[in-house]
Amino acid sequence: MSDRLTDFSGGKFFRSRFGKRAAYPVLALVLLVSPLRSFAQAAAQKGGAQTQGAISVEGAAPLTLTLQDALRRARLNDPQYRSALTDLGLAREDRVQARAGLLPNLSYNNSFIYTQGTGPQPANCALTSTCGSAFRFIANNAVHEYISQAGVHESFSLTGVADYRRSAAALAVARAKAELATRGLVVTVTQAYYGLVVAQRKYATSQRAATEAARFLDISQKLENGGEVAHADVIKARIQSQQQERDLQEARLDMERTRLDLAVLLFPDFNQDFTVVDDLQTPEPLPAFLEVEAAGKKNNPELRAALSAYEAAQHEVTAAWGGLLPSLSLDYFYGIDSNQFAIRSNGVRNLGYSTVASLQIPIFSWGADRSKLKQAELRRDRSRVELSFAQRQLLGHLRQFYSEAEVARSEMESLSSSAEMAAESMRLTTLRYQAGESTVLEVVDAQNTLTQARKAYDDGQARFRVALANLQTLTGTF
């Protein structure tokens, strides 16, 4: 552009085409426009940032979310899911601590012990039988004692081994519950997500119904003016139009409510500026029941949690028995324990070692150890009953959820056909009414039937997706 302006200012372009006389007026026009153009560019640069910011904020497109996007966001913000993950992390650290209790522990101790003395001993201390009573305070091996040594401690007991195995079983329980929370979150988000999709569809259906009711009211008024129908038809059509307007308001309220419910699940800042993708037109296939049953028995987190809880209860009984049996501990020390803080003093090497072995035998505890064993056995019996119930409940829920998904899947084709026939029935009934072959009640009934058929079809599609999500809480993704 700057090269073109240079050609204009030099006059070469117009002189070559139009001659000298035509070039001068154009040159004057360019000289007049150039300052104005520079001023406009400066003003644009000065307010460009503000204008761009306003466009980015006010004209930004809303966030478009798929179901997978909604699940990803819900995993970051749902408190119950995060609580399950926290419990999993705590159980993992409990196992680390229980394993550390079985392994040797190494520590290094540095101490200085000062004991008050009485000064130098009497010269005839060796000849005096009461020389030992000449010291004012006796507490340690010497007046000055320095301890700097490493210590290794190891304990052997049935309780420690059982506690480690119990922590491993508890970790399996926490892992199964985290998986259960994940699948439960999928059901919750699926219900909220497709609840918004269906609410938007129902709002659009209510809009069409209100438009059709207003159109029919106009038709009845025109027919009344032509003397073809009675005024009662106009009254009925007006009542129908008012009812559809009220239904439209209720549909708008329900759509806003479902949007708020989904926003609470997905966004930490309560953002409502988003849209969801309507993918209900492509239903997922449903596998055979034998495949679903096999997957449920293999991948059901509730069954794994109950089984791991029973194993943890068994290890707790073993740990309680350990409180009634002897336990062994070993301690090994190496370093300095001397009246001088030095490796050598007076030609003697101060480094040395010592070993302590302890065997603790429980004898009497007022029945506390027996009581702990009884508690552990009661928890084990309860876990056995819960495991048996979880197995029976799995089989019952598998059949229940599969039947729900199967029926919902088979009804979608029928619901779609009913919606199409209801639309055609309303069209034909309206034409027959205009021709004087049907009554106003038939038209109103056809309008209501069409609205109900469309909403039932939307509910049927969402019902299948939710039923499929409920089934996958037992089987995992298939």
CATH number of 68-103+157-325+362-475: 1.20.1600.10
262 exposed, middle or buried (CB, 10 Å; 0-12, 13-18, 19+)?
buried
Q: Token digits for 223?
A: 């027919």
Rounded to a whole number of angstroms, the distance between the first and last alpha carbons of the chain is 62
Return the closest-CA partner of residue 423 out of 390, 456, 450.
Answer: 450
Looking from the CA of 18 toward its CB, the CA atoms found within 13 Å total 11
Find the angle CA(293)-CA(299)-CA(305) to the nearest 5 degrees: 120
CA gap 318, 19 in Å, rounded: 111
Residue spans per domain, the chain? 2-60, 68-103+157-325+362-475
Say if strands 144-156 and 327-338 run parallel, antiparallel, or are unpaired. Answer: antiparallel
Residue 416: predicted pLDDT: 92
Separation in Å, CA 324 to CA 11, 160, 364, 372, 398:
111, 13, 9, 10, 45
Residue listed under structure tokens 């644009």: 44
CA gap 8, 31 in Å, rounded: 10
Bridge partners, 110 (sequence order): 148
Find the angle CA(25)-CA(30)-CA(31) to the nearest 5 degrees: 100
3-state class percentages of the chain: helix first, strand second, coil last, to nearest 5: 70, 10, 20
Provide the sign of the torsion angle of the four alpha carbons 261, 265, 270, 271, taken in this order.
negative
How many angstroms from the chain centroid is the CA of residue 35? Answer: 60
Tell me, what DSSP letter sits at residue 280?
T
Tell me, what DSSP letter sits at residue 357?
E
Q: What is the pLDDT along the chain (478 residues), one digit of tens a residue?
A: 444 333 434 444 334 443 443 444 433 333 333 443 443 344 334 344 333 333 334 456 889 999 999 999 999 999 999 999 999 999 999 999 999 989 999 999 898 888 776 655 555 555 444 554 455 566 677 778 888 999 999 998 899 999 999 999 999 999 999 999 999 999 999 999 999 999 999 999 999 999 999 999 999 999 999 888 899 999 999 999 999 999 999 999 999 999 999 999 999 988 889 999 999 887 788 889 999 989 988 889 999 999 999 999 999 999 999 989 999 999 999 999 888 888 888 888 889 999 999 999 999 889 999 999 999 999 999 999 999 999 999 999 999 999 999 999 999 889 999 999 999 999 999 999 999 889 999 999 999 999 999 999 999 999 999 999 999 999 988 7
Torsion over CA of 383, 387, 392 and 394, rounded to 10 degrees? Answer: 120
CA gap 430, 216 in Å, rounded: 8
